[in-house]
Chains A and B, each alone.
Chain A
Amino acid sequence: MARFLAGRLVALIFILLALTLAVFVIDAAVPTDPVAANLGAGASQTLIRAARHALGYDQPIYIQYYRFLGRILHGDLGTSLRTHNSVAADLAQFAPATVELALASMILISGLALLLGLWSASGATGATAIRFVLVSLASAPTFFFAIVLVLVFYSWLGLLPASGRTTAGTATGFVMTHDLWRGDLVGWLDGLRHILLPAVVVALGPAVAIGRVLRGSLVDAMAQDHIKTARSKGISDSAVLLRHALRNALTPVLAMVGLQLGLVLTGVIVVETVFAWPGLGLYTSEALVNSDFPAVIGVTLVLGAVYVVINAAVDVLQVVADPRLRDRP
């Protein structure tokens, strides 16, 4: 096991290095000259050359990459062309909203996927109906589903707000987490009302995808011989399902979770735009529209790193769930 973890850690470092290299190459390949762009159109050749030297752009490419890596490790992701703040500071400002949205989505994903998977695998009544409803909802394009939800819950029923994180208009920071920490239930419920619609939109697709894999792999697990052994011991149906079948069904589910969380990361960009959610997604779409390359590069690095770490965690969890994978060379 220790050997496996060490191996995964080394692999993780290499993948992260590859990610930075990819981002560096894209950055270098972009046709706009960041130095010229920074100095303005009227700058003289001498001035540009001096600035290039000062910023290290006249150095060999591997030195540039080395310095790029060094900057990343020090948290220096460059300066946004749009906000003129450091990208790192911008990310720190916008990330909390996205983290809260992603967390809320993940809670919904787990709940919905377990509901869908366990309910339909247990063959209980209503399983087919709930499966039909969830799958149809997940088949709709995200933006369409988002608009329908806004129409129903905001325009018609007036139950839930359609944009922002709080009624007061607070945009940054861990709003709900902070409310929970202070014990401010009213504030937290206000945050909950705001986060509900965007979180449902983000969660539905991944939840249904994961739920279907869970169902299929639970059905397979329930057909295994050891389930017959467990039943012959006089164990209740729920214990058979939860204690014996679920853990044996996890390997493909975890693989799907890894894939789907990647989609969640890109999903938030669309959803944040629709719901005016002031997070990384909104920041990225603004940056894309304004050709703010340092910002786009910064977001790519951060989301890429999160994705890589999540999938490494999934690998480890798979091995934790199924001890047979531990002895595989």
Chain B
Amino acid sequence: MSAVEAVSPPVAEIRDLRVSFRSAEGQVQSLRGVSLDIAPGEIIALVGESGSGKTLLGQSILGLAARLPGVEIAGSVWVAGVDMLGGEVRRRRWVQRHLLGAVFQDPLTSLNPTTKIGRQLTERGITPTRALENLRDAGVPQPALRARQFPHELSGGLRQRTAIAMALGTAPITAGAGCDGEPIGVALIGTGETPQLIIADEPTTALDVSVQAQIVLLFDRLRREHGCAVFFVTHDLGVAASIADRIVVLYAGRVCEVGPARDVLARPSHWYTRALLAARISVNTPTTVPIRAIPGAPPNPAALPPGCPFAPRCVNAQELCDVSMPDLAPRAAGDGGGSVACFYPQPLSAAVAPPAGDDVLEPAEAVAPHAPPLGMALELASVTKRFTVSGGRFGIGGRMVHAVSDVSLGIESGGALALVGESGCGKTTTLRVACGLIAPDSGTVHWGANAGRPQLVFQDAGSSLTPWMTVGALIEEQLVRRGIARKELRAAMLDLLARVGLDARAAGARARNLSGGQRQRAAIARALAAEPRLLICDEPVSALDASLAIRILELLQTLRRDFGVALMVVTHDLGVARRVAETIAVMYRGQIVEQGPVETVFAAPRHPYTEGLLAAIPTTEPGRLSPKLAGEPPSPIGIVQGCAFAPRCPYARPRCTDETPILRDLGDGRRSACHFAEELGNRL
């Protein structure tokens, strides 16, 4: 990297950047003295938990921070010699038009819904021909057709590819004409044919894993082909590991560690980096290895401690850490370069002893009931549900969505099942049928003897709690329905809150006053108020940072162990599935394609789709990503002849398209809907 620096000046220079906001609580310090250079053609991953300031850093480089309401900025950000924080607006816009590209998290909202794609692509003054080239470059098939469409007519993955194509479409720089005729950094800026720097803010977070892997590799290819630098903001260390040259770890608005990706991940020097790695719910971590949540919570940005911001949560904090702020200093020799902001960095030679603390997520088997099961908590038998979509009127002539076809599932009392699959695979419909929100077209749903309706816990706990009611009132409402006497209401309510790890203060709070983790706990407490024998959780932790997610998963396991509640967890995250359940069911296009004990399935998948899903998940070993899943999750509309997965399957044979496979028992406690399941097993 130092060799690159010697040759050409950095694309972007950030010097002692400090950004704060005025708020009712006082001055919120979001970035506190960040300095960083981005070299040409370099991919930097910026990682950190929510609230660390990583999105703000990206916006500062883009020149968008100065106009945020109530913002105060000190320090400087230069891109190609232009001040992106102050100075003339014209010069900033010139850099934005000619040198920068931006890709944001949610492709559903980051494209203008009322403007055709072609028009959005050419907005910076590029020719339609080049816009089509950019689309093709970003891996969009049929670019000419797409350019005439509106964003809502595209799938999520295609939309994100379109957003990337748009980031590539920087205005060409005509000879001699710099910014206002002033040639700035001519050696660097080139022709403007491609951006010098793309800021990508969580560009894969809203995508399915198979698409995520494709997009990550796309950024890598664009860098190699066009030489543009990429500033990749992500919360996922696995994604960072799979493409970054350098990793920057941000905590409470400060860089706590920076260095070559390989070295930082293999030998983290900062205790926070290490804790982040240990808290990763990785699909590759065998369930026997405990996952540890980072104790405590990130500091309040309106009232930051005087010393190291991580000290209150650090297992190795000493007196000095609480009173003095460490600056970035070179990492120990032999750690491969980079810098760390820690007085007592993790020594290279030290054995990686597990840090103390109780926040350890045990494997699901450890909490599984050993007593003979008390019957089934949920039984779905041959459930089918169809919907009619667009075009038809009065139920005639519309096309059918086979949301769920012939799905059979069972969960024993106190058991746990994870239902996984990509968007549109029918897992949410299955969930809604399972808890009786919608009736199946055919098939039966049983909840077990004397069991009430299963209770639901949603992904976004914030919007599932009525905003104007206190948490206490919401829980008491459920208790009243159960017939609890008025006198005992409060005690019962507080008891429920205690079970989920909340105290009496939470009873008087409304959803907006609680943190993300607390909201999810409150939602679980309300679900428990109905004394369900089965808790159905829809993506219960996907909106939470890893540490919080671990604690919620812990809570779910405690509930199983102590109260015998059965769990059905619907998730797209195979890591979560592996941790939370003994049984996993993989859905594809409305059908279960593989089902069995979690460890058996993960060790040797017997369906190519499961295998592809597992391969698409990034790990923290750099450069390991090799997705086998091409294409995107299929449209559930219409009927497919043969195996629905065949078009994406690397092993597809003629039989797959001729004959529809059925889900059959393989004899080792699992089922697969692949004609060649046994062969797949032998091959592996």
Residues of A within 8 A of B (CB): 224-226, 228-236, 243-244, 247-248, 321-324, 327-329
Contacts and interface: CB of A to CB of B under 8 A. Distances in A.
A233 B104 CA distance: 13
Contacts of B391: 329
A59 to B, nearest CB: 36
Contacts of A323: 113-114, 150, 152
Contacts, number: 81
Contacts of B100: 232, 234
A2 B150 CA distance: 18
11 contacts: A225-B105, A225-B110, A229-B102, A229-B104, A231-B64, A232-B63, A233-B96, A233-B97, A233-B123, A322-B114, A323-B114
A329 B104 contact: no
Given A323-B150, A323-B152, A329-B392, A248 B112 contact: yes
Contact of A324 (B92, B113, B124): B113
A322 B96 contact: no
B115 interface: yes
B152 A232 contact: no
B111 A229 contact: yes
A232 B104 CA distance: 10
B62 A232 contact: yes
Nearest to B388: A329
Contacts of A329: 389-393, 398
B341 interface: no
Nearest to A7: B393
Contact of A228 (B94, B97, B104): B104
Contact of B112 (A232, A234, A244, A328): A244
A230 B100 CA distance: 12
Interface in B69-119: 92-98, 100-102, 104-106, 109-115
Contacts of A328: 390
Given A323-B152, A329-B389, A234 B110 contact: no
Contacts of A230: 112, 123
Nearest to B124: A233
A206 B424 CA distance: 45
Contacts of B500: none
B497 interface: no
Contacts of B115: 243-244, 247
B644 interface: no
Given A323-B150, A324-B150, A225 B106 contact: yes
Contacts of A231: 64, 96
B237 to A, nearest CB: 25
A248 B111 CA distance: 12
Interface string B383-420: 00000011111000010000000000000000000000
A244 B123 CA distance: 11
A248 B112 CA distance: 8
Nearest to A244: B112
A232 B96 contact: yes
Contacts of A327: 152-153, 390
Contact of A248 (B110, B113, B163): B113
B165 to A, nearest CB: 12
Given A323-B150, A324-B150, A247 B114 contact: yes
Q: Could you say which of B123, B163, B392 has the most chain A C-beta atoms within 10 Å of its C-beta? A: B123
Contacts of A324: 113-114, 150, 152
Given A232-B64, A233-B97, A226 B111 contact: yes
Contacts of A235: 93, 123
Nearest to B392: A329
Nearest to A233: B124
A229 B166 contact: yes
B570 to A, nearest CB: 26
Contacts of A233: 96-97, 102, 123-124, 166
User: How many residues of B sit at the interface, in one of the four size bands?
Assistant: 35 or more
Nearest to A230: B112
B322 to A, nearest CB: 38
Q: Which 5 A-B pairs rank lowest in CB-CB distance, beginning with the nearest?
A: A234-B96, A234-B97, A232-B102, A225-B109, A234-B93
A226 B113 contact: yes
Nearest to B109: A225
A329 B394 CA distance: 10
A2 to B, nearest CB: 13
Nearest to B58: A232
B152 A234 contact: no
Contacts of B106: 225
B104 A248 contact: no
Nearest to B398: A329
A323 B111 CA distance: 13
Nearest to B171: A234
A109 to B, nearest CB: 23
B64 A321 contact: no
Interface string B57-71: 000001110000000
B97 A226 contact: no
B198 to A, nearest CB: 10
B102 to A, nearest CB: 4
Contacts of B93: 234-236
A147 B101 CA distance: 58
Given A228-B110, A324-B152, A234 B95 contact: yes
Nearest to B169: A233
Contacts of B152: 323-324, 327
Contacts of B199: 232
A228 B113 contact: no
Contacts of B94: 234
Nearest to B104: A225
A22 B113 CA distance: 41
A93 B93 CA distance: 58
A198 to B, nearest CB: 36
A247 B112 CA distance: 10
A239 to B, nearest CB: 9
Contacts of B63: 232
B79 to A, nearest CB: 12
Interface in B173-223: 199
A234 B124 contact: yes
Q: Could you say which of A224, A225, A324 has the most chain B C-beta atoms within 10 Å of its C-beta? A: A225
Contacts of B389: 329
A234 B102 CA distance: 11
B97 A229 contact: no
Contacts of B104: 225, 228-229
A232 B112 CA distance: 13
Nearest to B100: A232
Contacts of A247: 114-115
A69 to B, nearest CB: 28
A226 B64 contact: no
B150 A228 contact: no
A328 B113 CA distance: 14
A317 to B, nearest CB: 13
